[in-house]
Amino acid sequence: MAKLAIIGGGIIGLACAYYWRKQNQEVVLIDKGNPGEGPSRCNMGWVSPTLSGPLPGPGMIGTSMKWLFKKDSPLYVKPSAVPFLAPWLIQFMRYCNEQKYQLACDAGFHISKDTFQLFDELVDDGVEFEMHRKGLLVLGSNESDLQHKYEDLKQVERIGLPRPELVTGAELLKMEPHMKANLAGALFLPKERHVRPESMVNGLIDWLQVNGVEMKTNDAVTDIVHNHARVERVRCNTGWVEADMFLLAAGAWSSQLMKKLNYSLPITAGKGYSITYQSPNMEFNHPIYFAKDKTALTPFDGALRIGGTMELSGINDELMSDRVNGIKSSVAKFLSKEIHGSGEVILSGMRPMTPDSLPVLGGLPNFKNVFVAAGHGGNGLLMSLSTGRILSDLISGRDPGLDVTPFSPQRFK
């Protein structure tokens, strides 16, 4: 049995551990905290290949300039963080054109094309979690905005998913009676799903524990010892871990770890917030994307979550009240009354952001036994299972069945 040490137990590390263990191989999963905390637990839970498109695109530079330093805007850059963010921002701007946008859309679609099947297989395998197959709504500001979004999102047909359905304001109100009357309408994406992310990480952790995966929790990796082209062991707070292969899946912290291998990878933290209302006063039938403000609403069993926005301020868990209030007021604009519940939990999480919005998947050049699976940005839950499957193929030396060049760790060199 080949032993794989996975550094990072977010949804990506957990999914990779699942697929590696499924091959009857040995796994040790190391996390500096409790596995599945952070963004993997507090995200919006969307499994939406149609909305997997990249953040950089044509017109993005102009739009983001209006937002950049405004504390309640969809994209905020903390002024004091600009000096260390500058190299990442410059790379990001290079991807803000039509050609690179289309390439990233294609890559995102291809990695997501078997997603629903993989989620079904996970259920069949006994992993228990909350999953809904109700589709998803994307709100537009007006008819021409909806038409524009329709043209963009209909590309998903290429991977066998249906085109979005145009929904009038009156039809929207029937689908979601708590929306304001007289809205422009929406696009309905009938096949998209959503899960309660906490239940999915808990379900995976349970499966891994029952199936003999060793979990080292509250144990940070502080050093990586390598001898020429091989990593031999990693140092944790509580001692050394040896393995045959190593997988870096440390989300927004991945760049820091890479430096220990003298490898530079442009992954920065894109902080997002979510607010979860327990026993909410309103029930919704579908997740809803408020596209203009980049905020979202997700109904779960017995709870409602709103969230979104992107804050580039480095790795920190500071909760900025301006940004939380910005999310609340963005959602409130569309609803007939204010949301409240028996409890309100506000959390933040660091999306691991690459400049092109695509994850980094594959073997690290110059090393025979080191792999990376990080940088999934706003699509980590969506791409978790396909990432786990692809990495188990790559680590075993099998063909993963798709072109992994767009995800190469070398592409930023």
Ligand X SMILES: Cc1cc2nc3c(=O)[nH]c(=O)nc-3n(C[C@H](O)[C@H](O)[C@H](O)COP(=O)(O)OP(=O)(O)OC[C@H]3O[C@@H](n4cnc5c(N)ncnc54)[C@H](O)[C@@H]3O)c2cc1C
Contacts with ligand X, residue ranges (CB under 6 A): 7-13, 30-33, 37-40, 43-46, 220-221, 249-253, 257, 272-274, 307-308, 349-352, 374, 376-382
Strands (E), 38-153: 46-47, 75-77, 131-132, 136-139
Secondary structure of residue 149 in the 3-state scheme: helix
Which one, 32 or 132, has the nearer CB to ligand X? 32
Residue with tokens 């299972």: 385
Which one, 8 or 173, has the nearer CB to ligand X? 8
- C-alpha 53/C-alpha 43 separation (Å) is 17
Q: Give yes or no for a contact between 31 and 219, defined as CB atoms under 8 angstroms apart.
A: yes
Minimum distance from CB of 92 to ligand X (Å)? Answer: 17
Which one, 115 or 173, has the nearer CB to ligand X? 115
Count of alpha carbons within 13 angstroms of residue 284, beta-carbon side: 27
Which one, 173 or 380, has the nearer CB to ligand X? 380
Minimum distance from CB of 382 to ligand X (Å)? Answer: 4
Minimum distance from CB of 181 to ligand X (Å)? Answer: 28
Q: Which two tokens stand for residue 58?
A: 């044509």
Q: Which two tokens stand for residue 389?
A: 């499957």
Secondary structure of residue 394 in the 3-state scheme: helix
Q: What are residue 191's phi and psi, to 5 degrees?
A: -95, -10
Which one, 29 or 173, has the nearer CB to ligand X? 29
Minimum distance from CB of 112 to ligand X (Å)? Answer: 9
Q: Which two tokens stand for residue 373?
A: 């699976």
Rounded to the nearest angstrom, the gap between the alpha carbon of residue 203 and the centroid of all alpha carbons in its chain is: 18
Which one, 173 or 326, has the nearer CB to ligand X? 326
- With a CB cutoff of 8 Å and minimum separation 6, the contacts of 75 are 64, 67, 68, 294, 309, 310, 311, 312
- C-alpha 180/C-alpha 199 separation (Å) is 31
Minimum distance from CB of 384 to ligand X (Å)? Answer: 7
Q: Give yes or no for a contact between 345 and 275, defined as CB atoms under 8 angstroms apart.
A: yes
First to last CA, the chain: 35
Which one, 29 or 179, has the nearer CB to ligand X? 29
Minimum distance from CB of 182 to ligand X (Å)? Answer: 28
DSSP 283-329: --SS-EEETTTTEEEEEETTEEEEEEEEEES-S-----HHHHHHHHH
Q: Quick one: which of 66, 409, 30 has its CA closest to 249? A: 30
Minimum distance from CB of 347 to ligand X (Å)? Answer: 8
Which one, 64 or 298, has the nearer CB to ligand X? 298
Minimum distance from CB of 108 to ligand X (Å)? Answer: 11
DSSP 8-state symbol, 179:
B
